[in-house]
Structure 1
Amino acid sequence: MNECSPACRVGIAIVEDEKELVKVYEKAFSRKGIQICFIAYDGIEAVKKYIECTPRPHAILMDYRLPIMNGIDASREILKLDPEARIIFLSADVAVRDEAISAGAYAFLKKPASLKDIVDTVKKATGAIPA
């Protein structure tokens, strides 16, 4: 899915350049009944799709190392548009954890994170389960 889904009442966006990982996330969220609003493969695309997406996703899974614009810069742009956006960082680069959190990330998960941890964090961010 590459376009904003109008059925996305409570859902997420996936911003990840590794297509195989995107497929894994899609399967995991589908099994848990979590709608995917859009998928972006670079930071610029993520910002553009966030602007165009109505309704907006309730949470965004964001990788750090992305082509064109990294995840922190994309997060800053999204948070300028919507200070309430909940961005969950997923990165193997733990050195950027503090920067991601100070940029406004809701949570930071170190790759490889378990699918259970990812799904639980998404559910908390979207309000599907209490924080």
Structure 2
Amino acid sequence: MVSIFIVEDDLSLQRLYGMMLTTFGFEVVDKASNGKEAIEKFKSFSPKPDIILLDHRMPVKNGIDTTIELIKFNSHTKIIFTSADNSIKGRALEIGAISFIEKPFSVIQLQTEINRVFNLV
């Protein structure tokens, strides 16, 4: 089963993503509301999650800075970057995100992207 860590500052989106992902058969290992919290939690995970669904605009530490730090700890975890700001897509992919989904996105887009990342289609 694919394990997913959700990093999103909007708590309603956090809950929605969690419900959607579990409905599709993925395991949501935890959630964080900002980059600093995400890094602290990620360090303690054993095993590390397969995917991090990571928002860009968050308090304390943004998605770009968070991605850079997360990849230092484990380069095997795949980061799916999410943002309404499409102008950061290139930078997100350049620093190590495996995918970028522009907000708002549909349930089907998210499921399709996770399946693509893991060749589950």
TM-score w.r.t. length of structure 1: 0.87
| 2:60 paired with 1:82 | no
Give per-residue Cα distances to partners, 1:59-101, cap 9 Å, x unaligned.
0100000110001110100101111221001100111111101
- Give, in angstroms, the shift of residue 122 of structure 1: 1.7
Q: Secondary structure at the match of 2:116?
A: helix
| 2:120 paired with 1:129 | yes
| 2:50 paired with 1:58 | yes
Q: Secondary structure at the match of 1:56?
A: coil
Other-structure match for 1:6: none
| 2:31 paired with 1:39 | yes
Give per-residue Cα distances to partners, 1:83-126, cap 9 Å, x unaligned.
1221001100111111101110000010001111111212333x
**Residues in 2 aligned to 1:95 and 1:22: alpha-carbon distance in whole angstroms:** 23
Native 8 Å contact 1:37 1:56 kept in 2: no
- Identity across the alignment (%): 33
- Give, in angstroms, the shift of residue 128 of structure 1: 5.8
| 2:12 paired with 1:20 | yes
**Residues in 2 aligned to 1:35 and 1:55: alpha-carbon distance in whole angstroms:** 13
Q: Which runs of 4+ in 1 moved over 2 A?
A: none
**Residues in 2 aligned to 1:46 and 1:67: alpha-carbon distance in whole angstroms:** 12
Which 5+ residue runs of structure 1 have no aligned equivalent?
1-8
Native 8 Å contact 1:15 1:39 kept in 2: yes
- Residue correspondences, number: 121
Which 5+ residue runs of structure 2 have no aligned equivalent?
none
**Residues in 1 aligned to 2:85 and 2:74: alpha-carbon distance in whole angstroms:** 26
TM-score w.r.t. length of structure 2: 0.94
| 2:64 paired with 1:72 | yes
Aligned residues: CA RMSD: 1.2
